[in-house]
Structure 1
Amino acid sequence: MRTAYRVESVRAAEAALMAGLPEGTLMRRAAAGLAGACAGLLGRVYGSRVVLLVGSGANGGDALYAGAGLARRGAGVTAVLLGARAHEGGLAALLAAGGRVADDPFAVLARADLVLDGITGIGGRGGLRPEAVPLVRAARGSGAVVVAVDLPSGVDADTGAVDGEAVRADATVTFGAYKPGLLVDPAREYAGAVRLVDIGLADLLPSPPELEALHHADVAGLLPVPAAESDKYRRGVVGVVAGSARYPGAAVLAVAGALRGGAGAVRYVGPAGAAVLARYPETLVHAGPPADAGRVQAWVLGPGLGDTPGADDVLGSDVPVLVDADGLRALDMAAVRARPAPTLLTPHAGEAAALLGTDRADVEARRLEAVRELAARYGATVLLKGSTTLVADPDPGVPVRVNPTGTPWLATAGSGDVLSGLAGSLLATGLAPRDAASAAAYLHGLAARRAAAGAPVAAHDVADALPGAWRDVAA
């Protein structure tokens, strides 16, 4: 599992570690790892041209010490100093190793093979200062490899927000721990490939972290496996209230996901029964209302529902309920908070904005804040779909999970319906909402990658690829 920590947690761990080390040791550890990563990106260090964009803080010191290490290996290293002062020890080390300070920053940037962004790092807020912007633009326009030191300058380490201009890195070398902004968009898109350098913080970081990103082994431990005595009812029955005369396909796709989510049976309730049975004859179909359809262990409510009745029956039930799409419209906050069983909401950014009373752009700019706020307001687990899918528990002390398997090919009609059915099925097997949502998002992303293989896919392709994704994880 990959974990990420807020700046204050990382700073506290660094302070505790530095208290027992000679002065400068931690910075030199970080710089050594940074120099090694840069050497790997350059391939051939001797004769290469490296430019350091150096701010006045510790981030600039890291860049200067790393530059000194590259200079000792034969690189031509030039520092561009931003601000009234630079880290004294780092600058002295660079000059002693044969590096120099630029007279004409734009001339050296135009010839650079690699540019190190040491402007602000994790302490920065609110975008780049005006004097840094033309230098950063010149670095990007030079064709050089741009490497961010700890975090791209100009992005928010704790939230992933990008307010103003920021460095777009090809790679980021981060120290001691991942920061939320490296895993959550929009900042994640600015980080490029991320490499973590161990500087000895692991045992000093707090528990729990701010963010978690599951790996195969973590998800494999969550997936239900039938026992010898299992039957279709013991494995769980998921009810799907979805589809309408106008959108029968939403019902078909939600059922497609539900059938591949581990539950023993799927009950469909709604007006699209004929379409569902034509595609999936194993489905148990009922015209409704949901209260008369038979016992289920979880409900999925909303995909393509339109104005079809049934929401009140489902929300008033005593089993977990997943609410998506049309089910989110005019959702009663008090009713959700009063439910005796857990609720899982699965909005995209536009639906989340409507629930929060803001606009879509604000949600997309501050995804981590938005998912936390939604979970707190509704007392529900929230899966916020998008470029980085996030899962938040209503308990603010529980880490948000970020899904690492997504792909832009999932931006296609009906893919969210498949995800809803899949997550609802996992709920019916007995998984807690946070685990069901996290495992579903992970499998859904893997299935899309398998189905796409670099080409467009339709939602039914994603559903068909789910068994293969499950086998990959469980192997």
Structure 2
Amino acid sequence: MRRAHTVQQVRAAEAVLMARLPEGTLMQRAAAGLAATCARLLPRVYGSRVLVLAGSGDNGGDALHAGALLARRGASVRAVLLAPERVHAAGLAALLAAGGRVTADQGEFGRADLVLDGIVGIGGRGGLRPEAQPYAALERRGPVVAVDVPSGVDPDTGEVPGVALRADVTVAFGTYKPGLLVDPGASYAGVVHLVDIGLTLPEPAVQAWQHADLAALLPAPSAESDKYRRGVVGIAAGSARYPGAAVLAVAGALRGGAGAVRYAGRAAEEVVRRFPETLVSEGGPAAAGRVQAWVVGPGSGEGAAQALAEALASPVPVLVDADGLTELARTGPAALAGRTAPTLLTPHTGEAARLLAGVSGQAPPAADDLAAARLATARRLAAAYRATVLLKGSTTVIAAPGGAVRVNPTGTPWLATAGSGDVLAGLAGSLLAAGLDPLDAATAAAYLHGLAGREASAGGVPVTATEVARALPGAWGAVRG
């Protein structure tokens, strides 16, 4: 599991550690780890050209000390001081003593075999200052290595409010920062290497699960299981106009761990023709029979309002997607008032905008603005609707109403295809019916869905939602294996 902590959490942990260590020890640990990573990236250290972009404060100090270590190994190290009057004095002295030099030549950027970005650290906010902005547009010869966080990226949110310097590698000290795991910041971070500097940290603000975490979570039948003990998921989806949404949601649900899928809606004939193992009826959720969770909304069209009302009136977990979210936005959080069972919402940013408008009563915010602030958007929705929220996008963010946040590390842009969200909804609903709580069900579904998308699009080929659904068993097996 990747654990990410906020700047405030990191600063508090650093203060405790520095009080017990000789002055400068923590910076030396960070610089040593940074220099070791840089050495591995270079074909050879001796004779390599290294440029240090040094801002003010400790971030610049880390970069300068790392530059000094590389200079001692024979690298030709030059440093550009972006704030000469506030340069880290000890770091600069170490670099000069090791044979490094100060330069004002921007051309060094394009000639360097490696560039160390120590312009702005985790205490910075906003985009690059004017004196540093040209470096974001210059052509590069070797990799750019960011010190703790790419300069211009908000470490707590991943937001990029201005010009930022894109890194090929980011060396994070002590812990990941949330902004390294969430787009758009994650797209600026490149490959993230974690350097242990001895911090003792509290519970993380954000988690990113990995195979081992998910393997321990996925449901598996026992010798005493039958299809009902494993859970029955109800799918209220599809319409005369959009029968495919029902078929795709059922396809995802059948591969999600529940023992049976019960379909209720107008596409029953198409569903049972494609998946004869499905239990079908043409009414709404109220008359469909017993289930352990409902999925409502994908392609429901004009029947979404009634299906949503009936599902929410049931005493089981409900996942609301697509047209169900549009209906929910019309009533706002009041539609969920009094529910004792949990609710899982699965919007993309356009639907998130409508849901937030349902809270404020004002015009929906711009979807692009919400996409640029994914963590804040998911948290706002979870708090306002008192529901778990799976916010879909280039980084899928899952937020629980209690404050827990997870981000999904799997996926591919090829998943941006019609019907992909229907498969995800059915998969997550099946995991709910199998007994997972909404946060775990959403985390597992996003992870498996992302792996399936990667597998189906292997080689960089376009995929359909049907192909993603077919790849889910392989993704499940890869995690369990």
TM exceeding 0.5: yes
| 8 Å contact from structure 2 (residues 266, 282) kept in 1 | yes
What is the match of residue 373 of structure 2?
366
Q: Which runs of 5+ in 2 are unaligned?
A: 358-364
Quick one: which amino acid aligns to residue 217 of structure 2?
L
Q: How far apart are 1:395 and its partner, in Å?
A: 0.6
CA distance in 1, matches of 2:140, 2:211: 39
Give the alignment of 1:41-56 within 5 angstroms.
41-56=41-56
Q: How far apart are 1:85 and its partner, in Å?
A: 2.5
Q: How far apart are 1:471 and its partner, in Å?
A: 1.0
Q: How far apart are 1:142 and its partner, in Å?
A: 2.7
Q: How far apart are 1:26 and its partner, in Å?
A: 0.5
Q: How far apart are 1:467 and its partner, in Å?
A: 0.8
What is the match of residue 302 of structure 2?
307
Q: How far apart are 1:105 and its partner, in Å?
A: 2.1
How many pairs does the alignment contain? 467
CA distance in 1, matches of 2:115, 2:140: 9
CA distance in 1, matches of 2:476, 2:167: 33
What is the match of residue 152 of structure 2?
154
1:467 paired to 2:464: no
Give the alignment of 1:314-463 within 5 angstroms.
314-331=311-328, 332=331, 333-357=333-357, 358-396=365-403, 399-453=404-458, 454-463=460-469
CA distance in 2, matches of 1:63, 1:466: 44
| 8 Å contact from structure 1 (residues 238, 428) kept in 2 | yes
Give the alignment of 1:55-454 within 5 angstroms.
55-83=55-83, 84-102=85-103, 104-138=104-138, 141-201=139-199, 204-206=200-202, 208-308=203-303, 309-331=306-328, 332=331, 333-357=333-357, 358-396=365-403, 399-453=404-458, 454=460
Match of 1:234, SS state, is: coil
C-alpha deviations, 1:122-173, integer Å up to 9, x for none?
11111111111013322xx133311100000111111111100011001100
C-alpha deviations, 1:351-377, integer Å up to 9, x for none?
111111311011111000000000000
CA distance in 2, matches of 1:156, 1:349: 20
| 8 Å contact from structure 1 (residues 126, 164) kept in 2 | yes
CA distance in 1, matches of 2:368, 2:410: 23
What is the match of residue 20 of structure 1?
20
The range that moved more, 270-279 or 62-71, is 270-279
Aligned sequence identity (%): 70
CA distance in 1, matches of 2:321, 2:115: 45
C-alpha deviations, 1:412-451, integer Å up to 9, x for none?
1111000000000000011100011001111111111111
Q: How far apart are 1:379 and its partner, in Å?
A: 0.4
Quick one: which amino acid aligns to residue 94 of structure 2?
A
CA distance in 2, matches of 1:449, 1:414: 16
What is the match of residue 32 of structure 2?
32
C-alpha deviations, 1:61-95, integer Å up to 9, x for none?
00000000110111110000011221111101100
CA distance in 2, matches of 1:444, 1:107: 45
Match of 2:428, SS state, is: helix
Quick one: which amino acid aligns to residue 456 of structure 1?
P
| 8 Å contact from structure 2 (residues 160, 185) kept in 1 | yes
Q: CA RMSD in A?
A: 0.9
CA distance in 1, matches of 2:109, 2:397: 38
- TM-score by structure 2 length? 0.96
CA distance in 1, matches of 2:428, 2:309: 21
The range that moved more, 104-113 or 349-358, is 104-113
- TM-score by structure 1 length? 0.97
CA distance in 1, matches of 2:401, 2:140: 46
The range that moved more, 309-318 or 45-54, is 309-318
Match of 1:465, SS state, is: helix
| 8 Å contact from structure 1 (residues 337, 380) kept in 2 | no
Quick one: which amino acid aligns to residue 71 of structure 1?
A
Runs of 4+ in 1 over 3 A off after TM superposition: none
CA distance in 2, matches of 1:191, 1:349: 23
Quick one: which amino acid aligns to residue 426 of structure 1?
L
Match of 1:437, SS state, is: helix
Quick one: which amino acid aligns to residue 96 of structure 1?
A
| 8 Å contact from structure 1 (residues 160, 187) kept in 2 | yes
Match of 2:390, SS state, is: strand
CA distance in 1, matches of 2:218, 2:110: 52
Quick one: which amino acid aligns to residue 469 of structure 2?
A
CA distance in 2, matches of 1:386, 1:107: 38
C-alpha deviations, 1:87-121, integer Å up to 9, x for none?
1111011001000000x421322311111110012
CA distance in 2, matches of 1:290, 1:111: 66
Quick one: which amino acid aligns to residue 372 of structure 1?
R
| 8 Å contact from structure 2 (residues 135, 165) kept in 1 | no
Quick one: which amino acid aligns to residue 179 of structure 1?
K
CA distance in 1, matches of 2:267, 2:69: 67
| 8 Å contact from structure 1 (residues 371, 382) kept in 2 | yes
CA distance in 1, matches of 2:111, 2:477: 49
C-alpha deviations, 1:372-392, integer Å up to 9, x for none?
000000000000011111111
C-alpha deviations, 1:1-42, integer Å up to 9, x for none?
110000010011111111111111100110011011011111
| 8 Å contact from structure 1 (residues 118, 148) kept in 2 | yes
CA distance in 1, matches of 2:368, 2:315: 36
Match of 2:443, SS state, is: helix
CA distance in 2, matches of 1:20, 1:426: 47
Match of 1:44, SS state, is: coil
